[in-house]
A and B are shown apart, each in its own frame.
Chain A
Amino acid sequence: SQTIHQWPATLVQPVGSPLSLECTVEGTSNPNLYWYRQAAGRGLQLLFYSVGIGQISSEVPQNLSASRPQDRQFILSSKKLLLSDSGFYLCAWDRTGLAHEQYFGPGTRLTVT
């Protein structure tokens, strides 16, 4: 069966510090991978998606970047965090060409102070 992991589960970082969130998927190959953010009281906003190694598409201009160094690894980064980067970050995966359902990881709660 497939599983998706995210770490850390929670993170408190000062403004201006760097960020690295990691997501890995097990039990499948060549998944599409996604990063979402849920800000307080709001829906899920798609930040980045990737259809393969090294292929990253950005949905919104922002202070964040993403990378996919391996088939089942997706990393969300920032060089300098802003207060507005606080939120709940979710990684998701699905299979190319098959059903539309995406499967989400447990999320990372990021608080920028």
Chain B
Amino acid sequence: DQQVKQNSPSLSVQEGRISILNCDYTNSMFDYFLWYKKYPAEGPTFLISISSIKDKNEDGRFTVFLNKSAKHLSLHIVPSQPGDSAVYFCAASAVQGAQKLVFGQGTRLTINP
């Protein structure tokens, strides 16, 4: 039962253009969503998050959009830079004793010069 899905395993974008990574979820109890970036052989690093009471959160070149009715969120990176090439994971959590995160499968983003 995949509660968080990233249906695109890979995405290729030209440097300077916008990268859009998508994520869908099924559990309506999720109230917080996060994006992580991961380089090979390293641990994921937290990128940006959004609470279910908001529909947009922006941090520099990164913006996350949340559409609760569609159970869909997306990460926009603009302009894309070569250093953005990595695997991006979306994650979701519902408030519990420990804040367990449910991760998607990841999308490998490649920025082409």
Which of A50, A100, A104, A109 has the most CB atoms of chain B within a 10 A radius of its CB? A100
Look across to chain B and name the residue whose beta carbon is closest to the beta carbon of A88.
B41
Q: Say yes or no for B25: interface residue by CB 8 A criterion.
A: no
Residues of A within 8 Å of B102, CB to CB, are 46
What separation, in Å, do the CA atoms of A2 and B26 have in the docked complex?
33
* Cross-chain contact B49 with A109 (CB below 8 angstroms): no
Residues of A within 8 Å of B106, CB to CB, are 43
Q: Identify whether the interface residues of A are mostly helix, strand, loop, or mixed.
A: strand
* Cross-chain contact B100 with A104 (CB below 8 angstroms): no
Interface residues on B, range: 20 to 34
Q: Identify whether the interface residues of B are mostly helix, strand, loop, or mixed.
A: loop
Q: Say yes or no for A84: interface residue by CB 8 A criterion.
A: no
Look across to chain A and name the residue whose beta carbon is closest to the beta carbon of B99.
A100
A interface residues, tally (CB under 8 Å): 29
**Known contacts A51-B98, A104-B45, A105-B43, then 10 further A-B pairs from the complex at CB < 8 Å, ordered by chain A residue:** A6-B43, A32-B98, A42-B105, A43-B103, A49-B100, A96-B98, A100-B101, A101-B34, A101-B49, A109-B41
Residues of A within 8 Å of B93, CB to CB, are 100
Provide 11 A-B residue pairs closer than 8 Å at the C-beta atoms, listed in order of the A residue. A6-B43, A43-B103, A44-B103, A88-B41, A90-B44, A92-B43, A100-B32, A102-B46, A104-B36, A104-B45, A109-B41
Smallest CB-CB A-B distances: 8 pairs: A104-B43, A43-B105, A44-B103, A100-B32, A32-B98, A43-B103, A101-B46, A49-B98
